[in-house]
Chain A
């Protein structure tokens, strides 16, 4: 089945309990995994694809004349095509393989950013960004004498679009926004953000780490300039991510790292650089990881992103209701548009203690600041407990969470 055919599938009969069976780590271990926003678990097909790559199709790519290397290269480039179709990019060369979302953002900051941001210019982000969508821009601004501007969110954790508009101006060179907030689950109105930013001549980089596993993303219809994502959040292995960039922009950018693969010719006097995307892929990439990543995208496409999104929306509503019934529980992040991420605090109990007790009951949640300290500051908490859901979670998982929270309350009463 081609990726395009897979994407066209609408699986009305999506069954999370059946999907759960695809994940070895969730079998017979009693594990209730509610931390997919940090990193998702891996289905057997992804594990097999990585093993197959190393068992049958492995050699370095873009190098050897021998058949095995050619086959490895073809598979690697087929994975690029899979990623292209998965996010709706116009061309495969708009897909740059990187390590993760963080590296994708750093790539944009250190190439496009360094080339196009100067003294007095501005980079506009939001208050709900992950540290990886704050610090690279901060470093760029410090280096270039530019200013980092931050659009605020309201007390529900929704972006204040009017304030965002006020901060946009002709000095704004880059707008960098999370598609979905990792700490709060807020879905940002990225279409509108992109339209507004383009009207001021700014390019837009979207941090898509949290969006990719949960909803259909089409970069061409969004018209974003850059889109960053991590494979490990979409059930693929760690060590592989994608930077999408519009071809014309990528072509105008200088290289990121120097090395093999990214060159055309090397002379001691001067080297010339390869075309995109190789220009940004110095050194031997994670070949096995890319094989696993492509398998993960195919897996998600086969299940159907629309079905996954529906399932998770239903889970979110169920969990929000169920948690509202736990005395002393305060939800942190109640934006009207939300993905299946629930941050909360329990009155009188530190999140770390909640996390330990839940862990003891077999439930894995994240506790801490979620690499979003400004978000914690906004809500006046040092940390939160975060339960995040993926396609393999069920209502039973949420029932178990609620029961375990009663245990916490009992212990701390």
Chain B
């Protein structure tokens, strides 16, 4: 098996796919948004409890591929306790990492655990999978009531 496939499907991603964290609707939520990828049928819902500009709690539900499920799982772990602005900055950094030119220096060294998604940039078709949960989270943060769609 080739190294970039292993790079894409790192063990952390496979683990979060099999056992997604925060895969539930938290007891208390005040912002919700749905994310859909009409091309592959992936659909997930992000639940947030935002108080005083801080993400107090977060969870998700839905179905998707390993990349989108693991991304949602790791995202929920990472943004819990963050300020809204921090979460948004993190989304920017994450997006930059997965969309950067594969020939350029690797990005995401300051993204902690999320750097397991750095292999996605070798697979442009999978960027939408990796960012679906993040788009939904962003819609929820802004309480737009809109569905985040990859198309």
Contact = CB atoms under 8 A, between A and B. Distances in A.
A353 interface: yes
Nearest to A376: B41
A383 B66 contact: no
Contact of A352 (B5, B14, B42, B43): B42
Interface stretch (A112-120, A230-238, A284-292, A404-412): A404-412
Interface size class of B (residues with CB under 8 A): 20 to 34
Interface in A339-359: 348-353, 356-357, 359
Interface stretch (B22-30, B45-53, B109-117, B121-129): B121-129
Given A350-B64, A353-B66, A382-B63, A360 B41 contact: no
B14 A356 contact: no
Contact of B43 (A353, A367, A382): A382
A369 interface: yes
Contacts of B41: 368-369, 373, 376, 382-383
A411 B64 contact: no
Nearest to A412: B14
Given A356-B125, A356-B126, A411 B9 contact: yes
A350 B39 contact: no
Contact of B8 (A356, A368, A373, A383): A356
B103 to A, nearest CB: 18
A407 B43 contact: no
Given A352-B42, A352-B129, A360 B65 contact: no
A357 B5 contact: yes
Contacts of B42: 352, 382
A33 B149 CA distance: 29
Nearest to A349: B66
Interface in A362-413: 367-369, 373, 376, 382-383, 407, 410-412
Interface string B1-27: 110111011000010001000000000
B117 to A, nearest CB: 14
Contacts of A367: 40
Contacts of A360: 2, 4-5
B40 A383 contact: yes
B40 A356 contact: no
A411 B5 contact: yes
A400 B42 CA distance: 28
A383 B42 CA distance: 9
A351 B66 CA distance: 10
B67 interface: yes
Nearest to B2: A360
Interface in A53-71: none
B72 to A, nearest CB: 13
Contact of A353 (B2, B18, B39, B67): B67
A412 B10 CA distance: 10
A293 to B, nearest CB: 28
B36 to A, nearest CB: 11
Contacts of A411: 1, 5-6, 9, 14
A179 to B, nearest CB: 25
Contacts of B126: 352, 356
A84 B113 CA distance: 62
A325 to B, nearest CB: 20
B74 to A, nearest CB: 16
Contacts of A351: 40, 65
A250 to B, nearest CB: 35
Interface string B124-142: 0110010000000000000
Contacts of A353: 9, 65-67
Nearest to A367: B40
A237 to B, nearest CB: 24
Give the interface centre of A351, A352, A373, A376 by most chain B CB atoms within 10 Å: A352
A350 B1 contact: no
A268 B18 CA distance: 68
Nearest to B43: A382
Contacts of B67: 352-353
Contacts of B65: 350-353
Nearest to B63: A382
B123 A356 contact: yes
A410 B1 contact: yes
A356 to B, nearest CB: 6
Contacts of B4: 360
B5 A350 contact: no
A356 B67 CA distance: 11
Interface of A: 348-353, 356-357, 359-360, 367-369, 373, 376, 382-383, 407, 410-412
The 9 closest A-B pairs by CB, nearest first: A352-B65, A350-B65, A382-B41, A383-B41, A353-B66, A352-B40, A353-B65, A368-B40, A369-B41
Given A368-B40, A376-B41, 5 more contacts: A356-B8, A360-B5, A382-B63, A411-B14, A412-B9
Interface of B: 1-2, 4-6, 8-9, 14, 18, 39-43, 63-67, 69, 123, 125-126, 129
15 contacts: A350-B63, A350-B64, A351-B65, A352-B40, A352-B64, A352-B65, A353-B65, A356-B123, A357-B9, A368-B39, A376-B41, A382-B43, A407-B5, A412-B9, A412-B66
